[in-house]
Amino acid sequence: MDYIEGWYAGDAARMEKALHPELAKRVVTTDSRSGRSQLESIGAMTLVDRTRAGGGSRTPKERQQKDYTLLDVFNNAAVAKVVASDWIDYLELAKWNGRWVIVNVLWEYKQPMSMSR
């Protein structure tokens, strides 16, 4: 919950605590001109910086959805799903130095974006 609650609170320290330093967060987008899929990616520090800049704190409290489902765990690996206000995240987690951290995120907007998607 450090991940999604940190995002909505604009709490960069809490967000950073949830992430492996080599995190890859990706979304598939579609180029509006060519119709071809693209993979956009950000890393841990970009996500931490966006959180620090206010990130989800601009989302009104009544819209801050943060439904978390643990889908599977095996030894030091886990998969979870977070349903947020405007998107769904699929998280891959690893037990790293005794604590669970997010290593990969594949996400998608709930509604098609009006921009190049």
Instruction: Report d(CA 22, CA 87) in Å as an integer.
Output: 22
Distance of CA 58 to the CA centre of its chain: 16
Residue 93 CB-density burial (10 A; 0-12 exposed, 13-18 middle, 19+ buried): buried
pTM of the predicted model as reported, rounded to 2 decimal places:
0.88
The size of the chain, in residues, is 117
Q: Phi and psi dihedrals of 32, rounded to 5?
A: -65, -25
Q: Residue 62 contacts by C-beta under 8 Å, 6 or more apart in sequence?
A: none
State residue 113's pLDDT score. 52
Residue 47's H or E segment, with its range, is helix 44-52
Q: What is the pLDDT along the chain (117 residues), one digit of tens a residue?
A: 999 999 999 999 999 999 999 999 999 999 889 999 999 999 999 999 999 999 899 999 999 999 999 999 999 999 999 999 999 999 999 999 999 999 999 999 998 654 444
Our separate counts of H helices and E strands in the chain read 3, 6
Level-2 CATH architecture, domain 2-109 = Roll (3.10)
